[in-house]
């Protein structure tokens, strides 16, 4: 896991990049990777998510929220400052209570840093959405992209995950294995095993029934369901049906 200083730095980076991409096109432009949303919806979601997370860190608890409001300044010219303010508020809330906890009905009691990390990677993936919409590059730092995959796998494999998303129960299996092998030699990769109790994973690029290899950016975009394996710069070897099955049941 990244250290908190890197998370704060990363949140600022991703928020700035998101704001630059989102504020360019017409606000009513549909987001191809979130087709039910416009850019205004997407920017409102990100900015309100930061503010919601800051509030729950300060109060120590929250109810389950299915959808956040998307209130945002009318003019896109005001979006970058508003988005930066939300990220700064979240960072300030964490810095005021770095050793605290937050109670969540599904995720349970977690340290406040978990919510800083969650918002970092939420912002990074939505930065990709904004970048694709605006036609600008999305080039996250490899350490951020790798930690986003790790965090995502951690959420999917929590014992409580199926209470929130019952379709995740379809990820149970009888020992089928999937490997994500990053092209970057400094990153260890991930080995996922589907067991009768649910999927588990470890930091390792070992032998598997199917292996997906490519730059960690592209692995993130595939497993965050922003690109298909055919669209991304990845190579799949082995039983590709296991990848299709995983992706079909991991919309969160």
Residue 63 has pLDDT above 80, yes or no: no
Tell me how far apart the alpha carbons of residues 189 and 34 are, in angstroms, rounded to a whole number. Answer: 27
Per-residue model confidence (pLDDT) at position 64: 58
Which of 45, 54, 165, 58 is closest to 107 using CA atoms?
A: 165
100 with 168, same domain: the answer is no
196 with 83, same domain: the answer is no
Q: Per-residue pLDDT tens for 180-218? A: 999 999 999 999 999 999 999 999 999 999 999 999 999
pTM of the predicted protein model: 0.94
pLDDT band at 65 (very low <50, low <70, confident <90, very high): low
Residue 181 inside a domain? The answer is yes
Residue 36 has pLDDT above 90, yes or no: yes
Mean pLDDT, rounded, for 67-87: 89
Tell me how far apart the alpha carbons of residues 127 and 14 are, in angstroms, rounded to a whole number. Answer: 7
Which residue do the tokens 């350490």 mark? 143
183 with 226, same domain: the answer is yes
Percentage of the chain modeled with pLDDT above 70: 96
Q: Which of 138, 172, 207 is the last residue of a domain?
A: 138
Residue 8 inside a domain? The answer is yes
Tell me how far apart the alpha carbons of residues 229 and 47 are, in angstroms, rounded to a whole number. Answer: 30
Tell me how far apart the alpha carbons of residues 183 and 205 are, in angstroms, rounded to a whole number. Answer: 11
Q: Which domain holds residue 177?
A: 160-248
Sign of CA dihedral 96, 97, 103, 107: positive
**Is there a contact between 83 and 46 (Cβ–Cβ < 8 Å)?**
yes
Token pair listed for 107: 């995720």
Q: Which of 108, 138, 168 is the last residue of a domain?
A: 138
127 with 189, same domain: the answer is no
91 with 202, same domain: the answer is no
Give me the number of domains the chain comprises: 2
Q: Per-residue pLDDT tens for 105-129? A: 777 889 999 999 999 999 999 999 9
130 with 100, same domain: the answer is yes
């Amino acid at each position: 896991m990244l250290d908190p200083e890197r998370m704060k730095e990363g949140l600022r980076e991703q928020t700035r990049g998101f704001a630059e991409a989102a504020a360019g096109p017409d606000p009513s432009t549909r987001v191809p990777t979130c087709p039910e949303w416009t850019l205004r919806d997407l920017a409102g979601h990100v900015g309100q998510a930061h503010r919601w997370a800051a509030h729950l860190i300060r109060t120590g608890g929250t109810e389950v929220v299915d959808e956040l409001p998307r209130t945002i300044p009318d003019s896109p010219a005001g979006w970058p400052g508003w988005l930066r303010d939300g990220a700064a508020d979240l960072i300030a809330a964490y810095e005021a209570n770095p050793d605290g906890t937050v109670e969540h009905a599904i995720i349970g009691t977690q340290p406040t840093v978990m919510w800083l990390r969650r918002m970092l990677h939420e912002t990074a993936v939505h930065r990709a959405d904004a970048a694709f919409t605006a036609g600008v590059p999305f080039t996250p730092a490899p350490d951020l992209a790798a930690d986003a995959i790790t965090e995502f796998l951690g959420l999917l494999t929590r014992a409580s995950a199926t209470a929130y998303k019952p379709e995740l129960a379809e990820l149970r299996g009888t020992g089928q294995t999937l490997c994500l092998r990053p092209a970057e030699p400094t990153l260890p990769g991930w080995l996922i095993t589907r067991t009768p109790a649910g999927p588990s994973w470890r930091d390792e690029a070992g032998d598997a029934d199917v292996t997906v290899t490519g730059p960690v950016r592209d692995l993130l975009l595939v497993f965050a369901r922003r690109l298909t394996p055919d669209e991304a710069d990845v190579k799949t070897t082995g039983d590709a049906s296991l990848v299709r099955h995983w992706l079909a049941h991991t919309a969160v």
